[in-house]
Structure 1
Amino acid sequence: MKSAYDVIVLGSGGAGMAACLFARLNGLSTLLVERTEYLGGTTAFSAATAWVPGSLLAASVGAPPDDITQARTFLNETVGNHSNATMRDAFLHWGPQAIARLQGETQVQFRARPLHPDYIQDAPGATLRGRALEPLPFDGRKLGKRLDLIRPPIPEFTILGGLMIDRDDIAHLLKMTKTSESFLYAAKLIGRYGIDRLTHKRGTRLVMGNALIGRLLSSLDATGADIVTQTETETLLNENGRITGVRLRQNSRVLDIIAQRGVVMATGGFNRHPTRRAEMLLQPTAAYSPSAPGHTGEIHDLALSLGAHYGEGAMDNAFWAPVSIRRRADGTTAVFPHFVLDRGKPGTISVNAAGRRFVNESTSYHLFTRAMYESNKTVPTIPAFLIADAEALRKYGLGMVRPGGRRLKPFLDDGYLVEAPTLSALADKLDINAAGLEESVKRMNEFARTGVDTEFGRGSTDYHRVNGDATHGPNPNIGPITAAPFYAVRLLPGDIGAATGMVTNAYAQVMKRDGTPIPSLYAVGNDMQSVMGGVYPGPGITVGPGLAFAYAAATHLTGSL
């Protein structure tokens, strides 16, 4: 680590690493500072989908031309006054350029999927494909010993003690005893993992968030960027209001490092701040988060003291997902986000303490959790209860319980999974209203017969149906709940990222309340006020803007704007 760099980036999630990489591509010297032992932040835990309208990759899946007007219409309809329209336009401007630069000049490579819909399908301008981009799998062996720097995935999203899998892998693994193609696919996947564990601490085939972080790290190493971990930022150095560097602490060493062009905040948001968590999140304050540790908001305190301010007007200060929790063998707590694997599948239902449905179970994880909070105002809905019959559990699993319906005893013994021979007995075990549950299931069974959910519209949009079971009809999201025994897991609200952050301009410069920038200070990722305004209109609406404004900040830092 040198005593001076052009750019210092604080935080190593996707946005921070991208800001560092774009700065290096622009010829600037860079230092990436991470406070924890791992690189990747919450991005490493996530699917790392990037929502970027108008990219060069949309045509690869036959998506119709996605002009700025169409994407702007969609965001105006879904986000509206919850964020600044000028900042949304800046995102639409920078996003395609960021993807093009990554695709053309780095190892950071994405692909669009043939069907990956926006979440709010009934809004004008919504699309079925082309905007959601996912990172290509990456061979971690290319990193050598540097692979150990990447934050490992959430264990409950792996199999065999650490094999990472994505949606394509899951499809083949579920069919491995049914088709020769899937058997060979699964055998190759598992065989490579077995070899990996003989030579490495972990699997080397990286997918989703680990793939994006691996690709960013490999690209940064190729450009010669300096990276330090386990390093605290104590102070933002400034002269007459201009940020000139940072004071870092590495164990007992304190170092003042000069930033000749600027400092980029990319520390992950306020969510683990000791007081702002309770002040800024919905009440009751979520007790658990599936996000990575490290985003304590301490850098926010420093920026606020220099005149920065939080944005206002967002629908929520955070993005949400329902989670279930379980104590691991090592004493830590597993926090499992229920994104798409179970809630929208046939044979399931979600109810509150009255045994009543309160939401369309196949809606997005953000809207599902917001509905928990709304229902909780009148009927206890924290926790809520995700219920499945034996056939649904066997086919789709339930939370941390894998498909197949085997090895249930550990989950039953520790209470994560609740089982009963009848719905009434299940309600008694869950301490919820039995009559309400039986009536709700009776109505759901009728919806399964007709294919129409007249209460909440489950399975009524393409987004819902993609997350159902395409082989099931007449509605891929609704099935009868009749096969005993019956099962349940408890759902709690979990915050997955900050929506409220520092107010910036279109170049990611941190702004003061008088509308002028704090010279040489930038914010990207969850440190920046989200252009989505606490709304969750599509997959990857944190990573996409994170990459876009990382590109904007790096471009501005070159002095070419």
Structure 2
Amino acid sequence: MPSTGDRHWDSETDLLVIGAGAAGMTAALVGKLEGLQVILCEKSDMVGGTTATSAGSVWIPGSSQSEKAGVPDSIEAAKTYLAGILGGISDKRLSAFLASGPAMLDYLERKTSVVFAPPPIHPDYRDLPGAAVGGRTLGAVPFDGRLLGADFERVRPPRREFMVLGGMMVGKTDIPPLLAPFRTWSNFRHVVGILFRHATDRLKFKRGTRLIMGNALIARLLSDLRQLAVDVRYMTAMEELIEIDDEIVGAVLASSSGQIAVRARKGVVLATGGIGWSDELRERFFEENTRRYSLSPDSNTGDGILAGERASGEIERGMESPALWMPSSVMKQPDGHLSVFPHIMLDRAKPGLLAVDASGRRFVNEANSYHDFVQAMLRSNRSPPSLPSYLICDRSFISDYGIGLIHPGSRSLRNFIDAGYLVEGRSIPELAAQIDVDGDALSRTIARYNAYAETGVDEEFGRGTSPLNRVNGDPDNEPNPCLRKIGPGPYYAVAVWPADLASSAGLRTDERGRVLRSDSRPLKGLYAAGTDAASIFKGTYPGPGTMIGPAMVFAWRAAMDAAGALDNYLIPSD
């Protein structure tokens, strides 16, 4: 790491932000609003990072937005809930997050176009005292991508597997009308409206401009950065931090025009997306059988964490998990594209599907959160080794709900079978042989599951008992929205693997977002936000938006601290 006081600077600014995901864009936007000169550098040619391909939710307890929407939530209830998960609320960063989360939302709503609204029902992931069914998770308000003009191409698109008709985004509320457009007049109007909009979009753009979820959040941040004329530099990667007299004062960047040194008078914010595809960090922190797949953009290679560590910052250890996980199925498409499909909630919670390990037995409540599903998969895998796990269903399940890459109502499954994505068996023993599990064990497992479906009570894992389970199940299925008998063959299986959605392990930081040394002293001039900073939830996943929420809060706190404005807010900061 360069450390010299007489070096040449190619450029100077107040705040240098590395990485243009939700955290980096928030830090750059807030810094500019607080009067700082800002340079925002992005390694790729698009903004958004993992956030752009996510639901774009933020988990912020006690917000005024939820109060106004009629789904109020309290910080005290959130503390009770988190204490049940973490064993207490002793971390100053956690207290700062809870206290300043609502202030961050109000700040952005007053000064920018970045606004959030809570859906009436969006449950926390654990069924514990203090858990919220609604009001604690907020979603980004949809955005018209046409307002960005040519810069619309700069917004990282959603995962290809989650778009239809050549680039149309589809949200959870769009699915029922699309599956039954003629069932009601409102369904018909909705479908005609979004299809017409998409058709007109494709006359001018490569994909649809009706942006929702994470794409809407990123587009709003980009729109505001443009309006404030923030200096955004694409295809510009950080190579090294520069230290002078025990202070980080800038960075060496690699750009299309060559290597440049940028001085940062007020600080550098690391927000490069966490561990991502870094071979070094994956080997250091991930179990060997979890390193194969990641849902991070391939430009995320651990640059911020590694640079911070080289600058004497410390990577926090002792996490319950080094990453947040998603069970994902994999298929190579005819054009060579490798589809890694995250099984979020569209199939696992629906009645008539179960998951088994290599022993042919269930190992988890299939309707639990994706992270908890994979954590159970990894525990099951340790004795004996048993990855991948398999989702099992019958033909009627696929017709009704789809599975993974296969949409509901699909008439032909042949392409998926030929590609090896879907395994078919005319009988349970035949299916078991094809996926190399014990046939007798699988038969007994399905028989037990079917008995639970009749009574509506899952005696092994309690499936269908929590608000999260029931919301993602089928409300028309009785007596349990998450349980239905697996009927006569043919039977089907889809293999699922662990894929990291985001890392939890990262640089130790304080409540201002400053990177800490091993002796807990702040490293002057260096901040980390998003997944470059260690998770305040210690590798657990309390609810939807518990990555993006803290990412934006601590990006806000870091920028406010750099601007000397954080102490103006009556919130914990020391």
TM-score band, normalised by shorter chain? over 0.9
- 1:74 corresponds to: 81
Tell me by how many angstroms 1:417 deviates: 1.0
C-alpha distance in 1 between matches for 2:87 and 2:403: 35
Match of 1:18, as an amino acid? Answer: T
Tell me by how many angstroms 1:302 deviates: 2.1
3-state SS of paired residue (2:150):
helix
1:309 aligns with 2:314: yes
User: Match for 2:41 among 28, 33, 45?
Assistant: 33
User: Match for 2:102 among 90, 96, 103?
Assistant: 96
- 1:23 corresponds to: 31
More deviation in 304-313 or 315-324?
A: 304-313
- 2:12 corresponds to: 4
After superposition, what is the alpha-carbon deviation per residue over 1:506-536, rounded to whole angstroms, capped at 9, x for unaligned?
0101111222111110000000111110001
Tell me by how many angstroms 1:68 deviates: 2.5
Residues 45 and 209 in structure 1, CA contact (< 8 A), matched pair in contact too? yes
- 1:119 corresponds to: 125
Query: How many positions carry a matched residue from both structures?
Result: 558
Residues 391 and 483 in structure 1, CA contact (< 8 A), matched pair in contact too? no
Residues 428 and 439 in structure 2, CA contact (< 8 A), matched pair in contact too? yes
Match of 1:41, as an amino acid? Answer: G
C-alpha distance in 1 between matches for 2:382 and 2:555: 39
3-state SS of paired residue (2:409):
coil
C-alpha distance in 2 between matches for 1:405 and 1:483: 19
Tell me by how many angstroms 1:380 deviates: 3.8
Residues 327 and 497 in structure 2, CA contact (< 8 A), matched pair in contact too? yes
C-alpha distance in 2 between matches for 1:268 and 1:295: 6
More deviation in 398-407 or 451-460?
A: 398-407
Q: Which runs of 5+ in 1 are unaligned?
A: none
3-state SS of paired residue (2:492):
strand
More deviation in 97-106 or 524-533?
A: 97-106
* 1:471-482 map, 5 Å: 471-482=476-487
Residues 402 and 409 in structure 2, CA contact (< 8 A), matched pair in contact too? yes
Structure 1: 4+ residue segments shifted above 3 A: none
1:187 aligns with 2:195: no
- 1:274 corresponds to: 279
- 1:459 corresponds to: 464
Residues 271 and 497 in structure 1, CA contact (< 8 A), matched pair in contact too? yes
Match of 2:427, as an amino acid? Answer: T
User: Match for 2:157 among 152, 161, 166?
Assistant: 152
C-alpha distance in 2 between matches for 1:449 and 1:380: 32
After superposition, what is the alpha-carbon deviation per residue over 1:285-331, rounded to whole angstroms, capped at 9, x for unaligned?
33111222222113322221221001122101111111111112331
After superposition, what is the alpha-carbon deviation per residue over 1:61-115, rounded to whole angstroms, capped at 9, x for unaligned?
4324x3332211211111236x852111011012111111112221112110111
C-alpha distance in 1 between matches for 2:196 and 2:124: 36
C-alpha distance in 1 between matches for 2:496 and 2:291: 11
- 1:372 corresponds to: 377
More deviation in 108-117 or 167-176?
A: 167-176
C-alpha distance in 2 between matches for 1:216 and 1:365: 28
C-alpha distance in 1 between matches for 2:393 and 2:303: 42
C-alpha distance in 1 between matches for 2:47 and 2:375: 30
Match of 1:423, as an amino acid? Answer: I
Closer/same/farther in 2, CA of residues 147 and 84 from structure 1, 3 Å limit: farther
Match of 1:5, as an amino acid? Answer: T
After superposition, what is the alpha-carbon deviation per residue over 1:322-363, rounded to whole angstroms, capped at 9, x for unaligned?
111111233131111111111110010101122110111011
3-state SS of paired residue (2:50):
helix
C-alpha distance in 1 between matches for 2:36 and 2:560: 10
Tell me by how many angstroms 1:387 deviates: 1.0
Residues 274 and 304 in structure 2, CA contact (< 8 A), matched pair in contact too? no
C-alpha distance in 2 between matches for 1:139 and 1:192: 11
C-alpha distance in 1 between matches for 2:335 and 2:235: 23
* 1:378-397 map, 5 Å: 378-397=383-402
Residues 118 and 539 in structure 1, CA contact (< 8 A), matched pair in contact too? yes
After superposition, what is the alpha-carbon deviation per residue over 1:477-516, rounded to whole angstroms, capped at 9, x for unaligned?
1111004322111011111111011111101011112221
3-state SS of paired residue (2:202):
helix
Match of 2:44, as an amino acid? Answer: T
3-state SS of paired residue (1:444):
helix
C-alpha distance in 1 between matches for 2:355 and 2:96: 39
Q: TM-score, length-normalised on structure 1?
A: 0.97
User: Match for 2:71 among 54, 63, 66?
Assistant: 63
3-state SS of paired residue (2:443):
helix
Residues 23 and 271 in structure 2, CA contact (< 8 A), matched pair in contact too? yes
Q: Which runs of 5+ in 2 are unaligned?
A: 1-8, 568-574
Residues 241 and 311 in structure 2, CA contact (< 8 A), matched pair in contact too? no
1:532 aligns with 2:537: yes
Tell me by how many angstroms 1:174 deviates: 1.9
Closer/same/farther in 2, CA of residues 283 and 274 from structure 1, 3 Å limit: closer
Tell me by how many angstroms 1:252 deviates: 4.7
Residues 4 and 258 in structure 1, CA contact (< 8 A), matched pair in contact too? yes
C-alpha distance in 1 between matches for 2:35 and 2:283: 42
